[in-house]
Amino acid sequence: MSTIITVDSLVKNYGSFEAVKGISFQVKEGEIFGLLGPNGAGKSTTLEIIETLRTKTSGKVWVDGLDLDQSPEEIKKIIGVQLQSSGYYPGLNLVQLIDLFCGLYNREQDPMELLDLVNLRDKAKSKVKEFSGGQRQRFSVATTLINNPRIIFLDEPTTGLDPQARRSLWELIRGIRDRGTTVIITTHYMDEAEYLCDRVAIIDSGQIIALDSPDRLIDQLVASGFERPKEMKQANLEDVFIHLTGHSLRED
């Protein structure tokens, strides 16, 4: 797999505070890459710098061979960024919003095709303010796809969702990757990262402290002699909940 993003010695200071302390990593084309870490670790700052939405203090970033310092406008054309749903015009329905975004991106896009992809066709004439958290997030993911991007960035897309809505969003994200789009996601849910991500970078206090596939990170921990204090259960309470209430896409 070829490299689609390279981050080299990236630093971001806010005044005298070092939020990102010289991190380096590469994202491969077609993978789901996770940035994990506690609140305040520097995940959003890193993401927003790559997205061209925030300035960096030092370091280099290349996206699909484009130098962030020289070609931010070219980078914008090939990435999809999730907007916060609070940024949507409350009076417009989904089709109108997609048309509006298409105008901003100067792209033609069939709104219904996009809504089909995220399972919101029957909500085409509804407004976002009437939506549940899961529906909002699915729509928000749909908006990242409007300019047919090579890479999409998802910042904590499942925070606050119930288990069904989370799983439905996971399937959506996998489906997007299966269509060839590279996905970069931040999350502080480890189960989410383990399920979705091909590789993860664990960030703490502005530094990468581990970077590998979830499986290899787990294997390394086990090889170091780690043992769980309690034997693993064969299922957990979330499995019970989903088993009882059903996997299917419901009113989430």
Q: 204 is written with which tokens?
A: 């703490």
Q: Which is nearer to ligand ADP, 38 or 65 (CB)?
A: 38
Region from 38-46, 125-133, 158-166, 241-249 binding ligand ADP, contact rule CB under 6 A: 38-46
Instruction: Tell whether residue 19 is a contact of ligand ADP (CB under 6 A).
Output: yes
- Cβ-Cβ contacts under 8 Å for 15 (sequence gap 6 or more): none
Please tell me the distance from the alpha carbon of residue 86 to that of residue 80, in angstroms, as a whole number: 18
Q: Which is nearer to ligand ADP, 45 or 82 (CB)?
A: 45
Number of residues that make up the chain:
252
Q: 25 is written with which tokens?
A: 């990593």
Pick the closest to residue 184 from 215, 152, 208 (CA basis): 152
- What does the per-residue mask of binding to ligand ADP show for 45-84, with x meaning CB under 6 A? x---------------------------------------
**Residue in 3, 8, 9, 40 binding ligand ADP, rule: CB under 6 A:** 40
Please tell me the distance from the alpha carbon of residue 125 to that of residue 27, in angstroms, as a whole number: 37
Q: Which is nearer to ligand ADP, 42 or 134 (CB)?
A: 42
Q: 212 is written with which tokens?
A: 């590998």
Instruction: Tell whether residue 209 is a contact of ligand ADP (CB under 6 A).
Output: no
Q: Is residue 190 a contact partner of residue 214, using CB atoms and an 8 Å limit?
A: no
**Residue in 4, 36, 41, 165 binding ligand ADP, rule: CB under 6 A:** 41
Instruction: Tell whether residue 175 is a contact of ligand ADP (CB under 6 A).
Output: no
Q: Which residues bind ligand ADP (CB under 6 A)?
A: 14, 19, 37, 39-45
